[in-house]
């Protein structure tokens, strides 16, 4: 009954609220850092490389060629576009049929290839294009080199900015939680001193405080995870396409990070603050 009342006491609830809010902030930063990586991969893998194929190939040869391309380690996905489909798409986009004034279909069959994110660099795609062009069935390879350079350059800048923000907010989170725990220990400094005076060992004094600190971290982490997950569900409802970027692994990593950080930081801060008052003499307690 004593333990139950202590958990729901003001001395526990106030630090728990403060710690929870800080952990929500930290979890949000972790979420954005991980999502940014997924977003960069998603953007890279949606850059198309168009491989124009000779009209001399038969349907069987086209099938074999597609299979060979699909087996390549750099291919994320591949889509075949026939001459007829290419003409149809061009007619819809231009609003007029090119064959009406040319007298023939100017388009060739092509493969639309999406490159895996690990290969989607300017140098990587240049090497891939060079290799593809060695195939005698390939007429030409078209890709937006400037777009790839721009995407990779912006992703690098964004990654650096997010890492700096993550490091800054991690430090701020540590400092805020540390201050919260220190204030909680400070209010009990005379109890700690009394236990010392009656001969209690330091390990005995530490035990309930460390247990309380660990409980604070776990409960705050669980509540923070619940708030973060509720926020994700709202975001998912507001923007369903978020599922293309955020996968269950990211949700698990964010939740685990918040819980582990909450447990470690509150326990560590409790231990550090306790050591300060355990080493302090009785006279100094009245002068702080």
Question: What does the pLDDT average to over 232-254?
Answer: 85
pLDDT band at 36 (very low <50, low <70, confident <90, very high): confident
CATH at residue 108: 3.30.70.3040
pLDDT at 181 over 90: no
pLDDT at 9 over 90: no
For residues 99 and 268, the model is more confident at: 268
Q: Do 185 and 218 belong to one domain? A: yes
- Is there a contact between 105 and 111 (Cβ–Cβ < 8 Å)? no
pLDDT digits over 190-239, tens only?
Answer: 888 788 888 878 788 888 888 888 898 899 999 999 999 998 888 888 88
Range list of β-strands (E), 116-235: 138-143
Q: Do 59 and 37 belong to one domain? A: no
Structure tokens at 23: 């952990």
Q: Do 127 and 13 belong to one domain? A: no
Confidence (pLDDT) at 4: 40
C-alpha separations of 17 from 75, 85, 187 in Å? 49, 60, 17
Q: Do 19 and 162 belong to one domain? A: yes
- The DSSP 8-state label assigned to residue 81 in this structure reads E
What domain range is 76 assigned to? 48-143
pLDDT at 3 over 50: no
pLDDT digits over 58-99, tens only?
Answer: 888 888 888 888 888 988 999 988 888 877 877 787 777 777
Confidence (pLDDT) at 2: 42
pLDDT digits over 119-149, tens only?
Answer: 888 888 888 888 888 888 888 888 887 777 7
pLDDT band at 166 (very low <50, low <70, confident <90, very high): confident
Q: Which of 120, 143, 166 is the last residue of a domain?
A: 143
Confidence (pLDDT) at 6: 53
Confidence (pLDDT) at 56: 81
Q: Give the 3-state secondary structure of residue 124.
A: helix
Determine how β-strand 110-115 pairs with β-strand 75-81. antiparallel
Q: Do 127 and 240 belong to one domain? A: no
Structure tokens at 90: 């061009």
Confidence (pLDDT) at 287: 61
Range list of β-strands (E), the chain: 48-53, 75-81, 110-115, 138-143
Q: Do 167 and 225 belong to one domain? A: yes
Q: Do 106 and 178 belong to one domain? A: no
Confidence (pLDDT) at 286: 63
Q: Do 26 and 60 belong to one domain? A: no
Q: Which of 99, 124, 143 is the last residue of a domain?
A: 143
Longest Cα separation, the chain = 104
Q: Which of 116, 143, 170 is the last residue of a domain?
A: 143
Q: Do 162 and 278 belong to one domain? A: yes
Structure tokens at 281: 């003499």
How far apart (Å, rounded) are the C-alpha atoms in residues 196 and 281? Answer: 10
Structure tokens at 40: 């960069």
Number of domains in the chain: 2
Q: Do 191 and 66 belong to one domain? A: no
Question: What does the pLDDT average to over 263-273?
Answer: 87
- Is there a contact between 206 and 277 (Cβ–Cβ < 8 Å)? no
Gyration radius from the chain CA atoms: 31
Q: Do 270 and 177 belong to one domain? A: yes
Confidence (pLDDT) at 288: 61
Question: Could you tell me which residues come within 8 angstroms of residue 141 by beta carbon, excluding any fewer than 6 positions away?
Answer: 49, 50, 51, 52, 129, 132, 133
Confidence (pLDDT) at 225: 93
Q: Do 99 and 237 belong to one domain? A: no
Between 10-44 and 145-186, two packed helices, what is the crossing angle to 10 degrees? 170
Confidence (pLDDT) at 8: 54
pLDDT at 113 over 70: yes
Give the chain's mean pLDDT.
82
Confidence (pLDDT) at 10: 61
For a pLDDT cut of 90, what percent of the chain falls above it? 9
């Amino acid at each position: 009954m004593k333990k139950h009342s202590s958990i729901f006491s003001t001395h526990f609830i106030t630090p728990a609220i403060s710690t929870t809010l800080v952990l929500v902030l930290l979890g949000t930063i972790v979420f954005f850092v991980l999502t940014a990586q997924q977003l960069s991969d998603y953007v890279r893998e949606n850059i198309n490389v168009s491989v124009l194929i000779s009209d001399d190939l038969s349907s069987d040869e086209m099938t074999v060629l597609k299979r060979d391309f699909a087996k390549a380690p750099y291919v994320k996905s591949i889509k075949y576009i026939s001459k007829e489909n290419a003409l149809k798409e061009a007619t819809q986009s231009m609003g007029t049929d090119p064959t009406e004034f040319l007298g023939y279909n100017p388009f060739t069959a092509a493969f639309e290839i999406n490159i895996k994110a690990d290969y989607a660099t300017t140098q990587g795609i240049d090497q891939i294009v060079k290799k593809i062009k060695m195939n005698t069935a390939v007429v030409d390879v078209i890709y937006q080199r400037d777009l790839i350079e721009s995407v990779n350059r912006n992703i690098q800048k964004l990654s650096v900015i997010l890492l700096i923000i993550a490091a800054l907010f991690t430090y701020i989170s540590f400092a805020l939680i540390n201050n919260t725990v220190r204030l909680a220990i400070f209010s009990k400094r005379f109890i700690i001193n009394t236990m010392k005076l009656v001969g209690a060992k330091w390990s005995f004094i530490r035990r309930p405080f460390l247990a309380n600190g660990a409980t604070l971290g776990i409960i705050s982490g669980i509540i923070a995870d619940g708030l973060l997950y509720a926020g994700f569900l709202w975001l998912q409802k507001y923007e369903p396409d978020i599922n293309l970027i955020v996968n269950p692994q990211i949700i698990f990593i964010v939740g685990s990070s918040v819980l582990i950080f909450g447990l470690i930081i509150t326990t560590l801060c409790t231990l550090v603050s306790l050591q300060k008052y355990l080493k302090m003499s009785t006279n100094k307690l009245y002068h702080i």
